Amino acid sequence: MPPEWHPHESTWLAWPKNRETWPGRVGRVQALFLEMMRLLASGERIDLLVDHREQEEDVRSRLDPATRRRVRFHRIPTGDAWIRDYGPNFLIRSGGEQAAAGFNQWRFNAWGGRYPELAVDGDVPNRLAPLLSMPRFRPGLVLEGGAIDVDGQGVVLASGTCLLNPNRNPGRSRKEVEDALRSHLGACRTIWLGDGLPGDDTDGHVDNLARFVRPDTIACAVDEDSSQPHHRKLKDNRRRLALARRPDGRRYRILTLPLPSPRETGLIGLPASYLNFYVANRLVLVPGFGCPQDETARTTLQELFPRRRAVSLNCRDLIRGLGGIHCVTLQQPQVLRC
């Protein structure tokens, strides 16, 4: 599995419409998707899942002509928009005659059975398989895409509170899970993170806590306010990262991003995090929440990805559904031939 900054063939999205996820805010979330699509279209194709012809026609009518030309529509119904977690996990083998692509179809049980009505989205990779026309692998493990992050050098950040949770993979030992990650992601080393943010209904996805930004650098969330309930948990995750070793034995460079202030944003109890950014071909889409930390996060990510434009997007409505930009995007890497 290549890192997110590897060139993309496409970004996959699923059109948001679930009124239970965003009560009274679906229209605003759809407006955010239209803006994301406009931005992404400057550098890559967009593959969008829609439920039916009427929905496709509605979205088409709301796109500007330049964006519309870069969007491929697929009439594949979904329960919700969190395609990062239930969509295919793309793989590549690059170089010369052997250049090829494939995907993993992990099991999806709606975040440990928390939302049984959304377990139907686990069938999306089956529906996509004829369109993708590439080898498919079935690891037999419950894994959401937001529970892992990779550096492209054989190291994976993984959420122990998800992958080792009895509500995901009962009876599976840590070694068994690591063996599966080695076999199906090409991961020679796993860095396990601990507890997630309060309000995170995923049991602690990595993409709210820590992300690779370069093979030798990891960005992680911190909160210096010791009165906050998650202060100790984030401090523990930072300690784990500081103790981790790269494949060559050296330590990682650890950079920190603050959390948005829940009091200033009015997002108390919601898992708002700047680590939920998305690296596209020409852009880094950065969550914004209407507080001073927004610009700190954007400028930090701009410095980390100088060849891309870091754009802050207002995610105050999106986060009401307990997810962010990274949760609703899924990169399909480009196969690079020599």
Return the structure tokens found at 28. 């605003």
**In sequence order, what are the residues at sequence separation of 6 or more whose Cβ sits closer than 8 angstroms to the Cβ of residue 160?**
174, 192, 193, 194
Give the separation between CA 91 and CA 334, rounded to whole angstroms: 10
Whole-angstrom Cα distance, residue 250 to residue 164? 27
CA distance 67 to 323: 25
Which residues carry out catalysis? Answer: 327
Least confident window among 90-104, 208-222, 241-255, 260-274: 90-104
In this prediction, residue 98 carries a pLDDT of 64
Question: In the chain, pLDDT over 90 holds for what percent of residues?
Answer: 90
Average pLDDT over residues 221-247: 88
Mean pLDDT of the chain: 95
Nearest CA-CA partner of 282 in 311, 303, 255: 311
Nearest to 253 by CA among 308, 193, 184, 304: 304
The 3-state secondary structure of 93-135, one letter per residue: ECCHHHCEEEEECCECCHHHHCCHHHHHHHHHHHHHHHHHCCC
The per-residue pLDDT for range 193-229, each reduced to its tens digit, is 999 998 999 999 999 999 999 999 999 999 877 777 7
Q: Is residue 64 classed as helix, strand or coil in its secondary structure? A: coil
Tell me the torsion sign for CA atoms 70, 74, 75, 78. Answer: negative
Q: Which domains does the chain have, with CATH numbers?
A: 8-333 (3.75.10.10)
Q: The pTM is what?
A: 0.96
